[in-house]
Structure 1
Amino acid sequence: MTISTRGAGRAPAVLVLEDGRSFRGRAYGAVGETFGEAVFSTGMTGYQETLTDPSCHRQVVVMTAPHVGNTGVNDEDAESRRIWVAGYVVRDPARVSSNWRSRRSLDEELTAQGVVGISGVDTRALTRHLRERGAMRAGIFSGNAIQDEGVLLAKVRQAPEMSGAELAAEVTTDEAYVVPAIGTRKFTVAAIDLGIKGMTPHRMAERGVEVHVLPATATLEEVYAVEPDGVFFSNGPGDPSTAGHPVSLMRGVLERKTPLFGICFGNQVLGRALGFGTYKLKYGHRGINQPVQDRTTGKVDVTAHNHGFAVDAPLDRVSDTEFGRAEVSHVCLNDQVVEGLQLLDQPAFSVQYHPEAAAGPHDAAHLFDRFVSLMEGQRA
């Protein structure tokens, strides 16, 4: 990535997709060039949380909502230490941000963090294109980075693909840290940071859980050194087929029958630990309005998603695994993609979506209560 100064509404810009289609607009945020996987997010709110979600690492995120930046950027809603998107695509950026918590404009924040974006794009047409053709590599070029489109297309096609990408090590914490319980400490959880969002340990802390956030490279000995009542595997970016160490680590936890909870990438890791495969979705699930059914109760939750891969597990039967019987517990009602797994013979479950709901609906917050209940049952 190369960048220069802020250029919203001034420098010309072009988005080039690897299939040759291009969209012209104006620079938004930093000026220069950047590359990543073009994906779209359907949330009408929560752009700050989306930008700072480590699951968006190496992605060029297209916002389907036409107006972005209306509430500016504050110092409270970031989900991690930085913006992770590789590039940002919007239709109509707000000219003035207005919110009592706003500290600066989104344009200023993108520029300060060197995020190359483009505005003035027909994001509806772009989204329809990605739905039909699938997520693909893309480049954003603005200012002096613009050249002949044949040259730009060649650059895009030289960029790395998301399939086969091992990215957890690039977003995980460098050192372990602790999020203390709010109020009385009832349980201790070891959380494996594969790209964790800040709201996730907070949701556990609200329930009296002291959370020890450990790097993705943590060993089984380091996990159990904190004497956990439960182990959590977080969301994160990349291809789960590359997650050799997290899968091995999770298998070690399953062998000890410690209560286990995984979300998003953690769900895919559980799937692989149980012997299921994973595969890349055509264009993924990203947004805060995805209907998911709990197959054990029939209840439907509206949920927040950010994933481009899924678990390949049978929907029509219980599977026998090395760690006991397993079943698909949740499915997406839009396309029947696996959205959750659970073991029937030991306390372990996972969901593909983001129950911490930052940003998004709070329908699935009860899953943290379920994790606490598993730890209570194990202690009893």
Structure 2
Amino acid sequence: MGAQAAAEIRAGGRFGRLPAGTDLPRTGTLRLGPLPPGFRLSAVALGHAASGLGPSCYDVDRGAWHRVLTTPQAGPLTVTVHEAPAAAVVPDLTVPDPAAPDLTAPDFGPHLVVRWGRTAGGDADREAIRRQVWHALALDDDLSDLYASLAGEPDLAWVAAGGHGRLLRSPSVWEDLVRALAATNAALSRTRSMLDALVELFGARGPAGERAFPDAAAIARGVAVDGPEILRDEAGWGYRAGSLALLAQRIDAGTLDVERWWDRSPRGPSDDEVGAEIRALPGFGPVSADGLLGLLGRPCGLALDAWARARVGELAGLPGPAGEREVRARYARFGRWAGTVCRLEITRGWTER
């Protein structure tokens, strides 16, 4: 999957399929900021393959991220996100909260502009868009500890200088779980087709043809009517159909609360507990668990699939893929950031063609 993603990104153009609704006249606009120091949209959107999986697309040449989001009043809306310099003037502004800086001030720094068509949306829609974009781009993540751990590593100075370290997330843990399941032992094209099929079969449809990623309830209802066979045969999930059906049913029934994994307070589950819960799910193994921990702001896993081992072997000058012991030894000095530094090294160049 990693090799295919790297090839597509380096080729330029669109990484993923452009969602419906991107060509509509823009009737809604938000300006989001202030951004963390050094933030770059491309560094987040192209940090792994998520931006190329439906209903999401990243335009490598134009630096624009397209994504269908679910809103409470307008339904599915395709939004386009791009960076803007401090001097950019954007009408129809929404301030995230009363304590935020004045976004209309002429000296407001670099920010994100979010636009969409079909409807301007109500206050609840705009807040939902703001919240989901902010979350997906990991704008609340504090990377100061990561950058401090790299301060004595001149060969890794490009990480902080380029604003690297954040991972593009889905609006929900549920969606990231489904993406991880689809990516297990599958090429990027196969993963993309499985997710596209889910969106087409179960995703809510907007008036302009936009389709949102289906929630667990939608898939659970489909399985209740047609059985897991609809996932296996019509969505092309093969042997993964049973695992996906069970995951959707448990979340829909409330017997599995995956959103609580976001709780990193002393009362919340530990990294080890979350990792163990993920590995206990049918269809999920150590690689999936490591990747998901990173998406949850728990950067402690190496996610060593075959492509990652091969890339580390190349970086280390080995005659073949690196073994787990060699990979762990290479990144051990970075402690809890070992998996993050490993991922950054093996994907370096994706955002700087």
TM-score above 0.5: no
Structure (1/2) with the larger strand percentage: 1
Q: Which has the higher contact order (CA 8 A, sep 6+)?
A: 2
Return the TM-score normalized by structure 1.
0.27
Return the TM-score normalized by structure 2.
0.29
